[in-house]
Every structure is written in structure tokens, then in C-alpha cells.
Amino acid sequence: QSVLTQPPSASGTPGQRVTVSCSGSSSNIGRNYVYWYQQLPGTAPKLLIYGNNQRPSGVPDRFSGSKSGTSASLAISGLRSEDEADYYCAVWDDRLSAWVFGGGTKLTVL
């Protein structure tokens, strides 16, 4: 059971906008920045969003992040087949003194 809750799956057709949610608590999302990682099949995770809504250089602006209270969301607009991957949210938990990850959301592009 992950400290952060994500839906196990999400899907969309090419060109659509999809969102992935991440729910936490006052000890993690409620007080710290949220990060998102993309893991393409058979590869290591890659940082997608840092500081709730900042994109590292090279990440397309189709990807955006937001946070409100103890929840966060990743939005992907203009969905492409190459976006098919697992997406994880992560945040530092002050009560556990540990990085915690969501269980991951498998995105399927139909």
C-alpha cells in the first residue's frame, strides 16, 4: 500500500488530454513539492516535472503539473503514442523522513 495514491491505469486516444492524479496527506504533498517521473517500458525512470509544475529542459510543454492541498495532478495534452508509459508521483514525507512514491499509473494510448 503506497503512501501516495494513484489510479493504476489511464487511457486516451492520440491528441486527447489525460490527467493522472496523486493523493497524499499533510505530511507529504500538503507541505512539500511534488515530482513526476515517466518510465517507458524497459527503461529507467526519467524526471518529468519538478517543484509541482516545473519542466526540466527537454520535456515538452505538453506535460504539466499542478498541486492543490494534499493532491497533485499530471496533465498530458496532445497525447502521442510515445507517451505510453508508467507515471509516478513522488514527494518527501516529513513524518517518515523518506521519499515516497505513488503506486504508478500505466498510461495506454488507444
Partner 1 sequence: EVQLVESGGGLVEPGGSLRLSCAASGLTFSHAWMSWVRQAPGKGLEWVGRIKSKTDGGTTGYAAPVKGRFTISRDDSKNTLYLQLNSLETEDSALYYCTTEGRFCTGGLCAEYIDVWGEGTTVTVSS
Q: State the residues that interact with partner 1 by CB under 8 A.
A: 2, 32-33, 35, 37, 39, 44-47, 50-51, 54, 86, 88, 90, 92, 96-104
Smallest gap from Cβ 78 to partner 1, in A, equals 26
Q: Closer to partner 1 at the Cβ: 36 or 71?
A: 36
Smallest gap from Cβ 39 to partner 1, in A, equals 8
CA-CA-CA-CA torsion sign (43, 48, 50, 55): positive
Q: Closer to partner 1 at the Cβ: 51 or 60?
A: 51
Nearest to 91 by CA among 11, 12, 16, 22: 22
Rounded Cα distance, 24 and 84, in Å: 24
Nearest to 77 by CA among 61, 93, 89, 90: 61
Q: Closer to partner 1 at the Cβ: 16 or 54?
A: 54
